[in-house]
Amino acid sequence: MKVLDTINSPSDLRRLNGEELDDLAAEVRRFLIDAVSRTGGHLGPNLGVVELTIALHRVFDSPADPIVWDTGHQAYVHKLFTGRTLAFSQLRQEEGLSGYPRRAESEHDLVENSHASTALSYVDGMAKAFQLKGERHRTPVAVVGDGALTGGLSWEALNNIGAGQGRPLVVVVNDNTRSYSPTVGGIASHLSVLRNSSTTGATTASSIFANLGLIYLGPYDGHDIGVLEHALRRARKLANQERRAVVVHCVTVKGRGYPPAEADEADCLHAVGVVDPATGRPAGPSSPTWTSTFGDQILDVAKRRPDVVAITAAMLRPVGLHKFATTFPTRVFDVGMAEQHAVTSAAGLAMAGLHPVVAIYATFVNRAFDQALMDVALHRLPVTFVLDRAGVTGEDGPSHHGMWDLSVLSVLPGMRIAAPRDPSTLRAQLWEAVNDDSGPTALRFPKANVGQDIPAVRRVGGIDVLAEGTSRDVLVVSAGAVAADCVRAAELLAGQRIGVTVIDPRWVLPVNPAVVRFARAHELVVTVEDNLRTGGVGAAVSQALQDDRVSTPVCNVGLEREFLQAGRRRDLLANAGLTGERLAEWIRTEWSARCGAVVGPHPYSVHDSDVEVAV
């Protein structure tokens, strides 16, 4: 029997001897490579924390001693040791095992928000609660990557933790010199100095942590179970004796024990799809994605526009900026996991006469809302936000779906938002965005293959007409990548004698006045978007029609105000009604209920001369 087969809870780890622990570490790595290569997931980060996770669970008594992972994508080994080994066959699948800690899965999972730099604040709060409740036996632990320490929230927490006398807690710094890519900035340099110090394993006052009031121990070999266990026991004892926080600095290797990951200098196979376990390479041929299309186009823009610069928050390659950075290394700024700083820094770049492009995941723009509002929009600055992984993302689950960006950014005065439907509109609208000096702009697109171009029948008032029925029964307002499904729905409904016009506003917010004119010419308006229905494009169209006293009823198809779990993107879209077939079925039902008695085409037709040209 394999050692891993005998581990059902953390207590099982405490009966193993040194040889068995080494065997277990090797088995865990083989298990992870096999399992993750079948389903996709975060491989490199978890291969790097095998020994650290073993030591943590041998020293601390989870869940009485809460262990909070920052970020949660490094918690696969933790899941193996807390009774979820068999569930890995459904890793990141719908109704399967989450790729991050999940409270519904285990009492050992306290935090499932996988946005970085949060663990220290969670643990600070827990330590305060334990102090107030007199639970002196409990020692909370934050496992923080060096990449997460580039986020400002970490230092807000450390500022408070350092002054927290009477509150024991342990901070484990998992220092592998990387987030997605090599960690940048002054913190990375400081950790490098500590790694190379001659006081290995010593308590030292020369670290920034000690200067903030925490006890610093380290650095330690993060792949030596015995050394780690000794260090963590010492840290726990010190924290409870001194009644304050102790930092344990562990040096690990991302992708440890898997040659393809260790050889991958770009991101150490940080996150993979289905891959060949022998090579770490994708199992099938790859197709152009929205990200790669943007990456090629922003490089073309940069070649022609020397004033265009780019900012990323520790995700140079995932957002497609690596080619730009290779060609123009002085014009791309990686600020670490610091979206707030990224946006306000972009405001400064714009104030100084450049046009910054802030490329981040759609889910992370939520973190910089105040900066987008007060530092960019208030000053009417020409900053372009490029929001990758917008809408339904897929297997990463609730914290990574980009389903709030339209609702969040729609309230910014002067903000113009484009939702490209295909490769050509993405390329065109990126140019339109960087050529707009009137204020902030944003482009959003999903995590998916980009597909083929969807040609317009004609353009009216800045709006692309994608399909026209023989009668003007239903107007479908398509926002972005749902366009192909909207056109498919129109084709299906044409066979049922329901005339459907499909339009793509291109710039979806604020609402183009031409959309109102189109709506006046139809019996029913249906808006379709892969964003929340609350505060999204549909809500804005409804408001625009109401303001203009247009009586045409409006129905909004989109995502409900709830957290979507993990699953394949196409399945989640189908569940939300965002496929051609589901849309056709829904529109037919709605049309029959509302307007089925109307006979013949609507007497009003929309021509170029009838529609106000959008500014």
Tell me, what CATH number does 436's domain have? 3.40.50.970
Contact 200, 220 (CB under 8 A): yes
The answer to whether residues 25 and 160 belong to one domain is: yes
Residue 367 has which token pair? 């973190």
User: Residue 478, annotated ligand binder?
Assistant: no
For every residue of 237-306, DSSP letters joined together read HHHHHHTSEEEEEEE--TTTT-HHHHH-TTTTT-EESSB-TTT-SBSS----BHHHHHHHHHHHHHHH-T
Q: Please check whether residue 279 lies inside any domain of the structure.
A: no
User: Residue 479, annotated ligand binder?
Assistant: no
The answer to whether residues 45 and 114 belong to one domain is: yes
The answer to whether residues 52 and 177 belong to one domain is: yes
CA 290 to chain centre: 15
Tell me if residue 254 is catalytic.
yes
Q: Among candidates 580, 579, 458, 465, which has minimal Cα distance to 515?
A: 465
Model confidence pLDDT, tens digit, residues 441-455 = 999 999 999 999 999
Active-site annotation holder among 167, 236, 367, 517:
367
The answer to whether residues 389 and 506 belong to one domain is: no
The answer to whether residues 298 and 253 belong to one domain is: no
The answer to whether residues 467 and 361 belong to one domain is: no
pLDDT for 425: 98
User: Residue 116, annotated ligand binder?
Assistant: yes
Domain end (from 420, 444, 468): 444
Q: Please check whether residue 453 lies inside any domain of the structure.
A: no
Q: Please check whether residue 392 lies inside any domain of the structure.
A: yes
pLDDT for 607: 41
User: Residue 122, annotated ligand binder?
Assistant: no
User: Residue 114, annotated ligand binder?
Assistant: yes
The answer to whether residues 82 and 197 belong to one domain is: yes
Q: Please check whether residue 151 lies inside any domain of the structure.
A: yes
Domain end (from 414, 444, 474): 444
User: Residue 240, annotated ligand binder?
Assistant: no
Residue 448 and residue 569: Cα distance in Å, rounded? 8
Contact 337, 180 (CB under 8 A): no
User: Residue 176, annotated ligand binder?
Assistant: yes
Residue 367 and residue 183: Cα distance in Å, rounded? 20
Confidence bin at 598 (pLDDT 50/70/90): very low
Residue 610 pLDDT more than 80? no
Residue 118 and residue 122: Cα distance in Å, rounded? 6
User: Residue 220, annotated ligand binder?
Assistant: no
Confidence bin at 197 (pLDDT 50/70/90): confident
| Per-residue b or e along 149-166, where b marks 16 or more CB atoms closer than 10 Å to that residue's CB | bbbebbbebbebbbebee
Active-site annotation holder among 254, 389, 427, 520:
254
The answer to whether residues 93 and 240 belong to one domain is: yes
Contact 614, 503 (CB under 8 A): no
Q: Is the pTM above the cut of 0.75?
A: yes
Average pLDDT estimate for 244-267: 91
State which H helix or E strand residue 484 sits in.
helix 483-494
Q: Which residue has the higher pLDDT, 100 or 604?
A: 100
Contact 68, 141 (CB under 8 A): yes
Which residues span the domain enclosing 40?
Answer: 4-272
CA dihedral sign of residues 400, 406, 408, 412: positive
Residue 68 and residue 142: Cα distance in Å, rounded? 5
Active-site annotation holder among 51, 112, 229, 339:
339
E strands, 1-116, are 41-42, 67-70
| Of 45-59, 282-296, 318-332, 489-503, minimum mean pLDDT range | 282-296
Tell me if residue 38 is catalytic.
no
Residue 493 and residue 212: Cα distance in Å, rounded? 66
